[in-house]
Structure 1
Amino acid sequence: MNRLIKNVRLFAGAAASAALVVSAAVAVSAQAPAAQGDLAQAVGALRAIGTMRANFVQTDRNGRKLSGVLTLKRPGRIRFQYEKGVPILVVSDGSALTFIDYSVRQVQRWPIRNSPLGALLDPNRDVMKYGRLIPVDNRNVVGIEVRDKAHPEYGVITLLFVRKASAPGGLELSSWASLDSQNNRTVISLSGQQYGLAVPDSTFRFNDPRATTRR
């Protein structure tokens, strides 16, 4: 279990350290018009999500897995509720991504703007400026790689979408992979996506293990 908790911490750290946009000077990738159309559609699909709930499986570079439920509410809010027995929570309240380890009463926070999850959470992020399409064998799958080439230390996030008419924007986010500067790779795979659910803001609060007050 200690190893699994470490892997969750690496996931949260990778999410916080890989900045999607640190400068407006990041240029749009020079790609064919059709490719740019797929990229624009994927960006539109992300922005079309109001609320979403899905099952997730998190896999680390050694193949170890954890599962749980992801809840998303735009703008800015996300919750990774891990399976029973894992004393970890990753949650964003709209301003910061917070990692809570209840086993050691530790709380760490990172601004959303410094997180690759900003592509999911911040409607003002222009993925077109720092993302590019990547080759995918399946024509029903769209892949986007997001990185700042001027700052490789920020890492990379790769998003995969499946074409689905009933999903917002016609594309359904199926997985993403975060790769940090230490080559720690974490993959999040989604299933059972549900959209347009009523999700109260209290979903994105957490019990602070350092105090008795609720945050």
Structure 2
Amino acid sequence: MKGDTMTRRWFRTIFTALLLAVATAAGAAAAESKAALLSADDRADIARAEEYLNAITTLKARFLQTSPNGVSVEGDVFLSRPGRLRMQYDPPSPLLVVADGSFLIVHDRELGAPSYIPLGSTPAGMLVQPNLRLTGGAVTVTRVARLPGVVRISAVETEDPASGEITLVFSDRPFELRQWQVRDAQHQLTTVSLFESRTGLPLDPKLFKFIDPNMTKSPLNLNAN
């Protein structure tokens, strides 16, 4: 099963890049210049997005993640704002991603020790931060696009616009987050699509606690339905 192992290694590399890629190759001054070109309609849609995201306390959804080579995997995503996220991949994928409020932990159960990434340096960090602002702060919107029934908002990290860009995709009516896309510094695009979303549900706090199975004989085993 050498091919499967190599595929998992490649996928983990791409996914880690996804979680780290939160900026664009342009400089901070260029990002600010783009933000200044936003129209009144653009700013109205940005305000809708901020209001929607800040109103979310908890969210549960199915997700479909598609990597640049076309490989797709599914799973369940759980969100508890502020600071907490869990992406639980369906078998046979060995991946698990947990944001515990401080770190984003990426764990491949077959390839060794988990990776701990500061939450603030990831797209997940933007989604779960309290009092989310898409303009005038840590995040800079570079463009807003409107298609029939869809609003797309692309943003970069204001202080570190060097490696990629995240695009949040919302349905227009009702206004709901349906997808996020991350384009890294090599212009590789990874897409996470949400479906069967439900908000305001009680979620077990244990979902957002990670116990390294390499450090204990009793690995965390959660069955969240």
TM over 0.5: yes
Structure 2 distance, partners of 1:191, 1:31, is 30
Kept after mapping to 1: 8 A contact 2:167/2:180: yes
> Structure 2 length as normaliser, TM-score?
0.82
| Counterpart among 79, 91, 95 of residue 88 in structure 1 | 95
Cα gap change, 1:12/1:4 in structure 2, threshold over 3 Å: closer, same or farther?
same
Amino acid at match of 2:44: G
Deviation at 1:149, TM superposition (A): 7.3
| Counterpart among 120, 135, 144 of residue 153 in structure 2 | 144
Structure 1 distance, partners of 2:53, 2:44, is 14
SS of equivalent to 1:128: coil
Match of residue 193 from structure 2? 189
Match of residue 162 from structure 2? 153
SS of equivalent to 2:162: helix
Structure 2 distance, partners of 1:55, 1:180, is 24
Matched, 1:134 2:144: yes
Amino acid at match of 1:194: R
Deviation at 1:183, TM superposition (A): 2.6
Match of residue 104 from structure 1? 111
Name stretches of at least 5 consecutive residues in structure 2 with no aligned partner.
Answer: 221-225
Kept after mapping to 2: 8 A contact 1:19/1:116: no
Match of residue 209 from structure 2? 205
Structure 1 distance, partners of 2:87, 2:36, is 32
Deviation at 1:162, TM superposition (A): 0.6
SS of equivalent to 1:34: helix
Match of residue 171 from structure 2? 162
Match of residue 168 from structure 1? none
Match of residue 68 from structure 1? 75
Amino acid at match of 2:150: V
Kept after mapping to 2: 8 A contact 1:19/1:114: no
Kept after mapping to 2: 8 A contact 1:57/1:65: yes
Match of residue 42 from structure 1? 49
Structure 1 distance, partners of 2:71, 2:212, is 28
Match of residue 127 from structure 2? 120
> Structure 1 length as normaliser, TM-score?
0.86
RMSD: 2.6
Match of residue 13 from structure 1? 17
Structure 2 distance, partners of 1:182, 1:210, is 33
Kept after mapping to 1: 8 A contact 2:12/2:108: no
Cα gap change, 1:128/1:150 in structure 2, threshold over 3 Å: closer, same or farther?
closer
Cα gap change, 1:74/1:114 in structure 2, threshold over 3 Å: closer, same or farther?
same
Deviation at 1:148, TM superposition (A): 4.3
Stretch moving more, 65-74 or 153-162: 153-162
Stretch moving more, 118-127 or 146-155: 146-155
Deviation at 1:84, TM superposition (A): 1.4
Aligned residue pairs, count = 208
Structure 2 distance, partners of 1:111, 1:19, is 15
Name stretches of at least 5 consecutive residues in structure 1 with no aligned partner.
Answer: 166-170
| Counterpart among 174, 177, 197 of residue 181 in structure 2 | 177
Q: Percent identity?
A: 31
Cα displacement string for residues 97-132 of structure 1 (whole angstroms, at most 9, x for unaligned residues): 110111022211111111122221102442123014
Stretch moving more, 71-80 or 156-165: 156-165
